[in-house]
Structures are given as C-alpha cells and as structure tokens.
A and B are shown apart, each in its own frame.
Chain A
Amino acid sequence: DSGVTQTPKHLITATGQRVTLRCSPRSGDLSVYWYQQSLDQGLQFLIQYYNGEERAKGNILERFSAQQFPDLHSELNLSSLELGDSALYFCASSVEGQGITSTDTQYFGPGTRLTVL
C-alpha cells in the first residue's frame, strides 16, 4: 500500500458524459500527478499540481481539467467523454515535485478504471 488513495476504483459511463476522479496523496506529500494508461500503452503524464497550484502540463486534452484543494487532495475532471478515453487513470504523489531533492520519488495510487460505452 503506497498511501495514495483513489476513488472510485471502477467507473462505467456513456459517451458525452462527465466524470470526476479523486485522489488523496500520501501524508506529507505536496505534489500530485495524474497519468493515463490505455490498454498496452505506457503511462502518459497529464498534469501536476504542487501545493494547490498547477506546475506542469503534459498531454492533457482540453476536455480534461484538474485541481488541487487546500487539503491537498486532487480531482481530475473528464468531460464530453469519448470511447477512446477508456483507460486506467493513476494518481501519484511525491514530497516536493520540483526536482530539488533528486531522490524525490513518485508513489502511485491503485488507479481508477474508466470504461466509456
């Protein structure tokens, strides 16, 4: 158990709908990262938040957005869902997320499996 929690574990929805995925980082971690992993694909970095502020953006679609709240939990919002959005969505957290400490390690949550029908 990494200490990172994600809810829900599974989500089944229809095309065109909107969903929200939730992540709580490990105690003491300030950075949260979101990744998408499609079938047989590598982990694709979506976005990073550090202490409530967006720090880096990866291959995140405009239909997707995220935020990090004062208690450091984060939510990923996916809207106008398409069949191709079906994937595992992972959240990870790390202590500082700025590369200041070279050993800063990301620990992953169990993921949310999203199925769009």
Chain B
Amino acid sequence: GQNIDQPTEMTATEGAIVQINCTYQTSGFNGLFWYQQHAGEAPTFLSYNVLDGLEEKGRFSSFLSRSKGYSYLLLKELQMKDSASYLCAVRDRTGANNLFFGTGTRLTVIP
C-alpha cells in the first residue's frame, strides 16, 4: 500500500520562503509529483522528481530523498496568489503506476 503524510495547514508571510514537507511509504516508488490546487479548482502540475536532489523551476523548487522517503516543496518570494493547497503524490509501480495523493497542505499567505 501507500502512505503519504503532509502537514494539514501552514501560514507564511508575503515575500518569505516556505517549505512544505511530504513523507511517503510505498513499495514500488516510481516518481513524486507536486500539484497546486486553489479551492474548488483543478490541481495544476508544479514539479516532478524521480532521482534524488533538487529540481528548480522559478520560484518553486522540489527536493527528493528516496532513501528517506522524503520530499519537500520550496516556495520563494511568496505572493498572495500562492495561497492554495499543495498536494504531494507518489507514483507506485505496484499500484499500476497510478498516482496516490496525500491530503494536501493548505498554505495561507498573509500580508
């Protein structure tokens, strides 16, 4: 089976940096995805990691450590529009290579 854990809520200040952690347990790890979801809207793809290390994409970066079953999403220069839920999802070979989502971290950016 798959077990994915993220903090439920976080608050950060506009202009600051925030790190959202995700830990996972899965038997057939085949990649980790981060999605952003504004309330009532579709999840939108942010980043993907399959090898250990940091992937940088503008203000967003994602890190993966496969040996620790750990990833984080780093958001820099926070903007008010970054207030959203951030979903960590793991692809599992033993689960037909489908994505298994955590419950998401609701980030609130305050002025």
Shortest distance in angstroms between B99's beta carbon and chain A's nearest beta carbon?
6
**Are B43's CB and A108's CB within 8 A?**
yes
Known contacts A2-B42, A90-B43: A56-B101 contact under CB 8 Å = no
What class of interface size applies to chain A in its complex with B?
Answer: 20 to 34
Residues on B with beta carbons closer than 8 Å to the beta carbon of A55: 96
Contacts of B96 in A (CB 8 A): 48, 55-56
B8-36: which have CB < 8 Å to A? 30-31, 33, 35
A25 interface residue per 8 A CB criterion: no
A contact residues around B99 at 8 Å (CB): 33, 45, 106
Chain A 2-20 per-residue mask, 1 if CB under 8 angstroms from chain B, else 0: 1010000000000000000
In the complex, A11→B98 CA distance in Å?
A: 27
Interface centre among A103, A106, A109, A110 (most CB of B within 10 A): A106
Report B54-97 CB contacts with A as 1/0, cut-off 8 Å.
00000000000000000000000000000000010101010111
CB distance from B35 to the nearest CB of A (A): 8
B31 near A102 (CB under 8 angstroms)?
yes
Q: In A83-104, which residues have CB < 8 Å from any B CB? A: 88, 90, 97-99, 102-103
Number of A-B contacts (CB under 8 A): 60
Q: How far is the CA of A81 from the CA of B101 in the complex (A)?
A: 25
Of B30, B48, B103, which one neighbours A105 at CB under 8 angstroms?
B48
Known: A99-B91, A102-B50, A105-B33. A56 touches B43 (CB 8 A): no
Q: A41-B103, A103-B48 are in contact. Are A108 and B98 (CB under 8 A)?
A: no
Specify which chain B residues have a CB less than 8 angstroms from the CB of A41 in the assembled complex. Answer: 103
Which residues from chain B sit less than 8 Å from chain A, CB to CB? 30-31, 33, 35, 40-45, 48, 50, 87, 89, 91, 93, 95-104
Other 20 A-B pairs with CB < 8 A, given A48-B96, A48-B98: A42-B87, A42-B101, A42-B102, A43-B87, A55-B96, A56-B96, A88-B40, A90-B42, A99-B97, A102-B30, A102-B50, A103-B48, A103-B50, A105-B33, A106-B33, A106-B45, A106-B99, A107-B45, A108-B43, A109-B42
